[in-house]
Amino acid sequence: MNMNMASSLENSPFLQACRRERAAHTPVWLMRQAGRYMHEYRELRARYSMMDMITTPELAAEVTLQPIEAFDLDAAIIFADILPPLVGMGLNLDFVPGIGPLLDNPISTIYDIERLSTPPAEQTILRYTLTAIRLASEELTSRGIPLIGFAGAPFTLASYAIEGRGSKTYAKTKSLMMREPEAWGRLMKKLVTVQADYLLKQVEAGASALQVFDSWAGAALSQADYLRYVRPYNVELFRTLQQANVPIINFSAGTAAYIDDVAACGGDVIGVDWRMPLDWFWTRIGEEKAIQGNLDPIALMAPWPELRARIDDVLNRANGRPGHIFNLGHGILPTTPRDHVKRLVDYVHEQTNHRQPTGDSES
Ligand code: CP3
């Protein structure tokens, strides 16, 4: 990488917004931006399984670039999933059509937890993702586009390790937590070890920023349980990640009621869902943090005038303040019309070109 390429990456609107610097326009990327709503993705997926795509670096890098070729996005996210770290720990992962991810040997006892390994990423299937990051970041750097690495937060990963699949009630996870708080602590510490190592190695491999997905904490936990059973481990994870010297995005969903506690765990950018307005979130997390969000993913299905009004609402609530990264409040859905993604990205850029803050920010 030459110096010019490095500086155009550092001065990209996405990294500037992460640092709360004024950018040429509000940067935009979309969670799950590589996926089934794109025909290019579906064509590859028809030939390869999800696991094959994740563990073949050339394929993962290609899929990472698909949305970058198709839209004027300000950041790429490496194509992978949050669950493969569990494979290195000893769990069997498969992606089953119509069901989603499935682990056929989930953990349920303290003995299972003691048996979980914590190998470094390069000794597990995560090494393929690290190689994919090297391939994709080389290509993206030459285009001035930062690559985001990611991993699941300990609670969200623990929920899959215990339930074996997605859950509505998180009954097994919360029962273990309440019944055996010490075993829970052991599990969460092991997950912090594995995830911190994996995330730091993603930066060594070429990721310019990291996002930690705590997707299910809010759906499962009261504020009191979040503070007791999640916060200490998230604090430890974010504290360890600081040594990477790249922006860290702390994303969760369903946590509006205690978003200040979520933000206090760490991260330079707080990723928020669509359940409350952007300015409501920003007031609570504090202006010293950048914010990412928060269009309802279903709004992309609405007719353009309605979609545009909802984009305007997010932008008006951000009010041109430096430190806003436009995104959805959660992942893009497979039924999203592709042409709305293009219109969204172009519209955010048009509307925010050199925009200055105006008047009062609270509305
Ligand atoms: O954002 C991106 O484009 C990067 C790739 C990415 C995937 N999964 C690819 C994927 C990312 C960042 C994830 C994260 C992920 N995976 C999360 C956290 C994000 C969130 O939504 O809150 C979670 C909970 C998972 C676990 C997971 N993986 C589920 C529940 C599913 C099934 C749901 C579904 O959409 O089918 C997956 C599969 C998955 N991960 C797909 C993709 C593109 C679909 C696989 C397919 O092609 O069939």
pLDDT in tens, 128-175: 999 999 999 999 999 999 999 999 999 999 999 999 999 999 999 999
Under-50 pLDDT residues of the chain: 359-363
Q: Could you tell me if residue 363 is inside a domain?
A: no
**Residue 160 is a catalytic residue:** yes
- Residue 358 included in any domain: no
pLDDT on residue 2: 63
Q: Which atom of ligand 1 is nearest to the CA of 36?
A: 47
The Cα angle at residue 148 between residues 119 and 192, in degrees rounded to 5: 30
Active site includes 360?
no
Quote the pLDDT of residue 363. 40
Residue 359 lies in a domain: no
Q: pLDDT of 62-83, one tens digit each?
A: 999 999 999 999 999 999 999 9
Q: Which of 227, 286, 228, 285 is nearest to 256 (CA)?
A: 285
Answer yes or no: 343 catalytic. Answer: no
- Residues with Cβ within 8 Å of 347's Cβ and at least 6 positions away in sequence, in order, are 308, 311
Six-digit token string for 208: 């310019």
> 298 to each of 137, 307, 328, 336, how far by Cα in Å?
30, 9, 9, 8
Q: How many domains is the chain built from?
A: 1
Mean pLDDT of the chain: 96
Whether 45 sits among the annotated catalytic residues: the reply is: yes
DSSP type of residue 243: G
Ligand 1 touching residue 100 (CB < 6 A):
yes
**Is residue 45 within 6 Å of ligand 1 at its C-beta?**
yes
* Residue 30 included in any domain: yes
Q: What is the CATH number of the domain that holds 166?
A: 3.20.20.210
Prediction pTM value = 0.95
Residue 330 covered by a domain: yes
Instruction: Select which of 19, 22, 45, 338 is catalytic.
Output: 45
**How far, in Å, is the centroid of ligand 1 from the Cα of 31?**
9
- Distance (angstroms) between ligand 1 centre and the Cα of 81 equals 6
The whole-angstrom separation of Cα 271 and Cα 263 is 9
Look at residue 360 in the predicted model and tell me its pLDDT: 47
361 assigned to some structural domain: no
Tell me the H-state helices in the chain.
3-10, 13-18, 39-47, 50-55, 57-70, 85-89, 110-115, 126-142, 154-163, 171-179, 181-205, 217-220, 223-229, 231-241, 259-264, 278-285, 304-318, 338-352
Provide the residue type at 140 as one letter: L
- Find out whether 201 and 122 touch, Cβ atoms under 8 Å: yes
Q: Is residue 177 part of a domain?
A: yes
220: CA distance to ligand 1 center in Å? 19
| 357 assigned to some structural domain | no
Range of the domain at 254: 3-352
Between the CA of 343 and the centroid of ligand 1 the distance, in Å, is: 24
